[in-house]
Amino acid sequence: MTSAKKIIILFGDILILYGALILTLIFRYGPADFGESFNSHLKPFSLIFFGWILIFYLIDLYKIKRLRIDLKTIQNFLLAIIISAVVSIILFYLFPTIFKLTPKTNLAIFALIFGILSFCWRIILTKIYISGGLKTRLLIVGDSPMINEIIDYLKNNPQLGYEIVTQKSRFDAVIVQHYFKKDPELIKKIYLLLSQKINIIDSITFYEEIFQKLPFSELEEIWFIEKIAGRKRLYDSLKRIADFSLSLFSIVVLLPLLILVSVLIKLTSRGKIIYKQERVGIDDKLFVLYKFRTMRTGEAGPLWTIKNDRRLTFIGKILRYAHLDEFPQLWNILKGDISFVGPRPERKELVEFYKELPYYEIRHFIKPGLTGWAQINYKPSASIKEAEEKLCYDIYYIKNRSLVLDFLILLRTIRYLFVSNK
């Protein structure tokens, strides 16, 4: 349901992109010369439209939760328009042989028209979802912390397009908790709803869709047996090829930067340049993880790195802030210890500490990663409770892992690098 609403926003933006281009050309050249100007602008602008969509995605403008008219949304929308326009200008002028246009005035007019139309499109959709034009009436059967979380979330986000109703009201879908499947009488009643074209949705499935994580307290062994796929051979093979190729390319391109960072570390503090640490990888196997050293040699401290950690060197603070300390892990990816995307590998001590969490071992079912679904959706864990929350995201990734999801995570990691320290 939520995915369909995202597609509606995206499809509308694509139509508006081309509509704004048509209006721009008519405004600039008039109806008489529209055909010729459209033919010359169509291909180059189609190329940059892909970039506009990606930027809108990175700034969360395709999240239904963000489909609301408030100051934060307006700021994000204006930011997306400005970044998209600037990137377009750079591309047009850096690659004139590809784009064959340098449309300063046309691009400015286009950005203005698209911005107005796209924002109006979002206002219209928001009003439709909130007012009830496209609302889905939900009957929720059951009572638990997860159900209460769903109800609170839907009430606080009316733009999602759901209305919670009682059994006496008309409804379009029923959300049923998994343990009600063991109630034969209830199953019969729910079965009869199928003839009325009522959608029957498992509560865990619905929770997963709207939160993009799994409800930790509701999971049981049978769920993992039914939902977690075994080895995905084709996916694993293609991912390994991509990991090897991209890591090798990155090491070659970033080699001057890696050398510069190494020299700065050596000149500003005593100790080794590379910090080595044992981490737990796939199938609970230990491997050595590489990072640029950011702390003073011989300093002891807590398991978790704390904010404004006094153990950090001056250069270490900069490396941590810019996430440059992670770059040596490209060697780990090249070797096959980790992947670009997957659950972050933890230290052996932390793994032992976290073992009190049920199903924690599922994280080691697949290869760990440099970045992951939990990393872009939740802050670094500093307690058992926060580790449990991150595990909910890790399980979501393990269940839904694919090359498309990996690509989206890498894209969102770019945004995370710019905003995570703010």
More confident residue, 288 or 306: 288
Query: Please, are residues 28 and 36 in contact by the beta-carbon 8 Å criterion?
Result: no
- Residues 161, 281 within the same domain: no
- Give residues with Cβ within 8 angstroms of 54, minimum separation 6: 411
Instruction: Report the percentage of the chain scoring pLDDT > 90.
Output: 50
Chain mean pLDDT for the chain: 88
Considering the domain boundaries, does residue 280 fall inside one? Answer: yes
CA distance 81 to 118: 10
**Model pTM score:** 0.86
Structural domain ending residue among the three candidates 82, 115, 131: 131
Q: Is 228 a domain residue?
A: no
In whole angstroms, how far apart are CA 67 and each of 2, 4, 53, 228, 301?
12, 14, 16, 32, 43
pLDDT of residue 360: 92
86 token code pair:
């600037």
Dihedral, 90, 95, 98, 103 alpha carbons, nearest 10: 40
Assess whether 239 and 335 both reside in one domain.
yes
Angle, helices 71-94/34-58, rounded to nearest 10 degrees: 130
Task: Examine the pLDDT at 287 and tell me if it is beyond 60.
Answer: yes
Question: Looking at the domain assignment, is residue 227 inside a domain?
Answer: no
Instruction: Answer yes or no: is 141 within a domain.
Output: yes
Average pLDDT, stretch 231-249?
94
* pLDDT number for residue 305: 57
pLDDT band of residue 130 (cuts 50, 70, 90) is: confident
| Confidence band, pLDDT 50/70/90 cuts, at residue 121 | very high
Q: Stretch 331-350: mean pLDDT, rounded?
A: 95
Contact 62, 6 (CB under 8 A): yes
Q: What are phi and psi of 278, to 5 degrees?
A: -75, 130
Same domain, 102 and 145: no
| Predicted pLDDT at 310 | 74
pLDDT tens for 298-339 read: 654 555 555 666 778 889 889 988 889 999 999 999 999 999
* Count of domains for the chain: 3
Mean pLDDT of 62-82: 88
Let me know whether 45 and 171 are in one domain: no
180-215 residue pLDDT tens: 777 788 888 888 888 888 888 889 999 999 999 999
Percent of the chain with pLDDT over 70: 95
Could you tell me which of 330, 301, 305 has the C-alpha nearest to residue 316? 305
Same domain, 108 and 146: no
**Residue-level pLDDT at 20:** 96
Q: Is residue 217 part of a domain?
A: no
Tens-place pLDDT, residues 17-60: 999 999 999 998 888 878 888 888 888 899 999 999 999 999 98
What's residue 68's pLDDT?
A: 80
- Give the pLDDT score at 304: 56
pLDDT at 244 over 90: yes
Same domain for 321 and 391, yes or no, is yes
pLDDT score of 231: 78
Is pLDDT above 80 for 422?
no
- Asked whether residue 185 falls in the same domain as residue 268, the answer is no
* pLDDT band at 1; cut points 50, 70, 90: low
Q: Are residues 268 and 157 in the same domain?
A: no
Q: Are residues 67 and 102 in the same domain?
A: yes
Does some domain include residue 331? Answer: yes
Domain that holds residue 162: 136-211
Whether residue 199 sits in one domain with residue 94: no
Is position 369 within any domain? Answer: yes
Average pLDDT over residues 147-161: 90
